[in-house]
């Protein structure tokens, strides 16, 4: 069974890859360079795959880094692509909306579908999850279903399905699954800032800290000292809400 | 009213542009470089827009040529992108299927939607038409409707609609409309070969010749001599079917 999946370099898509490998899929992986401010996630995606190959040497069929920066020039808007500041603190409806990159996920999934047809894979897996529901409409089940239908109707001779196995799961549940699957989270990057180390204060850092805390676990990406600081920041910001 | 449309450089998308200008839209135009063998169509798209600006100086809001060749490396397959020969003669089901580029139109439309959101346009126009129905499933109304729904659900805060006003029209009817609107077809390119002049023998050349013939018109892209040859080839091939 062949599948295509998108690996951003973050914790969710990394967990999705292990979910697929655990199920025995042969996986074609795409990572996109869209001029994101946090380009570091691409380097992490490469390291993550290298590490994963050691455990699943036969199931990683390809990992391509695809440069779509000319497209990003067209659609650039939103905090992830340099025009605005990445919001710090827990997301509010307003600040999370600032991180939307117009139609990004549909663009990436459409490319993944073309690639699936090329390599003869019948499924494209998408790491959308419930914690993003409220603000990112393209992380909702309704969108996934509609896109799956469009993909089917547009490619009748070479059918491909879009599946989003985490669509009903929270970030806490995803990390729980990933810890069971021994996902090497030390090779994942979530922070939206492009700095040397995670800022620990942006909405995405806070969500990540929370997911590991709820699992009574530590984020292996961080040193002991950083983790202490992350937990301290998390509780402080939590009180401020 | 702002709209985004894709201009390939061919006759159908050129007619669509005039249809929109005639309706008073301010139009943002995208032309894609996807390593197509017939890159000439991109040069024609530029000339076409230059010519059009003379007539509608206020309504052409932007024309961007977008390089998506890194994506084309991923999905390359099919006669338009170098691996196979462009089929000559009228298309049969088999030969037209060779010209499919996996999921290309969904990829291009997804990008166009992102761009529409960026520039504040509420509609993306797509030049799909009935003559392509049988072989290209993504030129069918069912696909357009499903994609429109997916686009709506994926971008709830910034709704964009996909419209395909030619979806029930044949190529003959599109050219008929274009002749009424004085579309400068001399600046459009249809041939799938990358040669200096149209080959007149590929399926697309034959369809183009037929559309002008049925309108009792001449293809202004061609010299008098070329047009005579095109008509002669058309009738010869027609007898061979």
Q: Which domains does chain A have, with CATH numbers?
A: 2-240 (3.40.50.620)
Task: Find the mean pLDDT for residues A6-25.
Answer: 97
Query: Across the interface, do A106 and B110 touch by the CB < 8 Å criterion?
Result: yes
How far apart, in whole angstroms, are the C-alpha atoms of residue A217 and residue A183? 13
Q: Does the pLDDT at position A83 exceed 50?
A: no
Which chain B residues are within 8 Å of A111, Cβ to Cβ? Answer: 71, 74-75, 103, 107
The rounded percent of chain A whose pLDDT value lies above 70 is: 93
Smallest Cβ distance to B74: which of A66, A138, A154?
A: A66
A-facing residues of B in 119-138 (CB < 8 A) are 137-138
Cα gap A119→A7, rounded to integer Å: 17
Tokens of B172: 């003959």
Which has more pLDDT, A72 or A153?
Answer: A153
- Name the residue among A27, A50, A26, A31 with its Cα closest to residue A184: A50
What's phi and psi for A43, nearest 5 deg?
-60, -40
* In contact, A69 and B68? CB cutoff 8 Å: no
Query: For residues B174 and B132, is the Cβ–Cβ distance under 8 A?
Result: no
Verify whether the Cβ–Cβ distance B103 to A117 is below 8 Å: yes
Buried b (16+ CB within 10 A) or exposed e, A189-211: bbbbbeeeebbbbbbbbbbbbbb
**Cβ <8 Å between B77 and A104:** no
Does position B220 have pLDDT exceeding 60, yes or no?
yes
User: Once rounded to an integer, what is the mean pLDDT over residues A35-57?
Assistant: 92
Residue B133 has pLDDT above 80, yes or no: no
Taking a C-beta distance cutoff of 8 angstroms, is the pair B113, B155 a contact? yes
Mean per-residue pLDDT for A28-51?
A: 91
Give the sheet arrangement for strand B123-125, strand by strand. B60-67, B26-33, B2-6, B123-125, B161-163
Interchain CB contacts (distance < 8 Å): A and B: 151
Q: For A70-74, A169-173, B135-139, B154-158, which range has the lowest pLDDT when averaged over its residues?
A: A70-74
Q: How far apart are CA A211 and CA B186, in angstroms?
A: 61
Q: Is the pLDDT of residue A76 over 90?
A: no
Report how far residue B61's alpha carbon sits from residue B193's, in angstroms, rounded to the nearest whole number.
31
pLDDT digits (tens, 9 = 90+) for B25-60: 999 999 999 877 778 889 999 999 999 999 999 999
Point out the residue among B77, B110, B118 whose CB comes nearest to the CB of A77: B118
Find out whether A192 and A38 touch, Cβ atoms under 8 Å.
yes
Q: Calculate how close chain B gets to A114, using CA atoms only, in Å.
A: 5
Query: What CA–CA distances, in Å, run from B132 to A49, A86, B207, B238?
Result: 41, 45, 11, 18
Tokens of B216: 């009792």
User: What are the angstrom distances between the C-alpha of A45 and each of A31, A84, A173, A220, B96?
Assistant: 7, 25, 21, 16, 39
Structure confidence at residue A77 as a pLDDT band (50, 70, 90): low
Mean pLDDT of all residues in B62-74: 91
């Amino acid at each position: 069974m062949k599948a295509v999946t998108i690996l951003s370099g973050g914790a969710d898509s990394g967990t999705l890859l292990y979910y697929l490998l655990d199920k025995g899929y042969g996986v074609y992986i795409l990572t996109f360079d869209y001029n994101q401010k946090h380009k570091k996630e691409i380097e992490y995606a490469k390291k993550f795959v290298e590490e994963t190959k050691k455990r699943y040497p036969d199931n990683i069929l390809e990992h391509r880094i695809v440069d779509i920066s000319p497209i990003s020039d067209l659609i650039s808007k939103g905090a992830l692509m340099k025009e605005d500041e990445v919001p710090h603190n827990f997301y509010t409806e307003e600040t999370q909306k600032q991180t939307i990159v117009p139609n990004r996920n549909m663009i990436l999934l459409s490319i993944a579908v073309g690639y699936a047809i090329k390599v003869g894979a019948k499924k494209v897996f998408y790491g959308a999850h419930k914690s993003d529901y409220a603000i990112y409409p393209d992380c909702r089940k309704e969108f996934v279903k509609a896109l799956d239908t469009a993909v089917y109707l547009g490619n009748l001779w070479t059918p491909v399905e879009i599946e989003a196995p985490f669509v009903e799961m929270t970030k806490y549940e995803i990390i729980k699954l990933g810890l069971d699957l021994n996902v090497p989270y030390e090779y994942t990057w979530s922070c939206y800032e492009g700095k040397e180390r995670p800022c620990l204060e942006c909405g995405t850092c806070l969500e990540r800290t929370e997911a590991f805390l709820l699992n009574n676990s530590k984020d292996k990406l961080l040193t002991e000292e950083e983790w202490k600081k992350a937990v301290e920041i998390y509780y402080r910001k939590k009180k401020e809400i």
